[in-house]
Amino acid sequence: MEFDAVLPPMHLKNVPAVAQAAEEIGFDALWTTETQHDGFLPHALIAEHTKKMKMGTAVAISFARSPGDIAYTAWDLAAQSEGRFILGLGTQVKGHITKRFGMPWPDSVVGKLREQIGAIRALWQTWQTGEKLRYNGDYYKLRLMTPFFNPGKIDFPEIPIYIAGVNTGLARLAGEICDGFHAHPFNSPRYLSEVLNPAIEEGASKSGRSRADISVSLSAFVATSPEEANQARMTISFYASTPSYKRVMEHHGWGETAEKLRGFAAKGEWAEMPMLITDEMLAELVTYADSLAGLPAALHERYEGVVDRITIYTPFVPGEKDDFWREMVKAF
């Protein structure tokens, strides 16, 4: 497994120092999220201020953008980083796409994301080879690319694409057409092994590949103290109340709890929700260790052979637990 870090939400002026610190500690990759800030912009700075570390979006919200928007940005970042950039895309959920971004929600999530990736790659192919742009789908039709708008070929045109998901449809799509899959933190080794990895394998077989050809990345919930366990309980209760993650709960036989949590969330009764998350649930969804020193072994035991890249849900902050991060990097 490779061990990565997540960039905390921050203003761009602070990104160079964090990126340099992450590379100095030895992380294999630095990922950005897209919650309070744009997920792409930090990578121009990460690329400029680092030399070896990979970088990527985990994730950029795909349905909030057109294929052209994504293609141009990823192309420039691949060139700037000399091939170290990984394009990670996530669809988000209907409410956020329609009410926060003001964009339409598709009839088929898998169908639209498949086309979006195909259209992005069609643009890249045109820019790199000079081939005429021709992409015809149900959601996207691209056929105009004049020299004035063509950024031209780059030295590192093979840009890896990861997609994120919780359910089998997107996992199969990742296996069929992508280079990697971002597994949501609300996950368990059992759900990954019994549901997601078989779906990735199924998709991979359609394109003559295997599960080994797709990199599965996970940001894992961890706890090394009662306080951290309580924090994880709160976070998990929020995710478990969301319909998108219901299948994880149902796979473990916790569907009734998910319905109760959804009811509390609908009424805004947030304080009641963590009490429904049992110790059994935490044991499945959170990696426990008696100390920080024991955490690498605990993660290896749970996820070796299940995922290929791992980070922990705690964002990397330089100057906070640097020795711990160095030991984690050494262990992977």
Domains of the chain (ranges; CATH) run 2-223+289-331 (3.20.20.30), 225-288 (no CATH)
- Give, for 248, the enclosing helix (H) or strand (E): helix 246-251
DSSP SS3 for 318:
coil
Considering only 37-41, 194-198, 242-246, which range has the smallest mean pLDDT?
242-246
Q: How many CB atoms within 10 Å of residue 200?
A: 30
pLDDT at residue number 204: 98
pLDDT at residue number 315: 84
Judged against a pLDDT cut of 90, whether residue 146 lies above it is answered with yes
- Overall average pLDDT of the 10-18 stretch: 97
Judged against a pLDDT cut of 90, whether residue 314 lies above it is answered with no
Give this prediction's pTM. Answer: 0.96
With contact defined as beta carbons under 8 Å apart, do 303 and 189 qualify? Answer: yes
Grade residue 228 by pLDDT with cuts at 50, 70 and 90: very high
Grade residue 133 by pLDDT with cuts at 50, 70 and 90: very high
DSSP SS3 for 6:
strand
At 75, give phi and psi (nearest 5°): -60, -45
- Overall average pLDDT of the 244-262 stretch: 95
- For the chain, the average pLDDT equals 97
pLDDT at residue number 244: 87
> How open is the CA angle 90-308-314, to the nearest 5 degrees?
65
Residue where the block lists tokens 């990097």 = 329
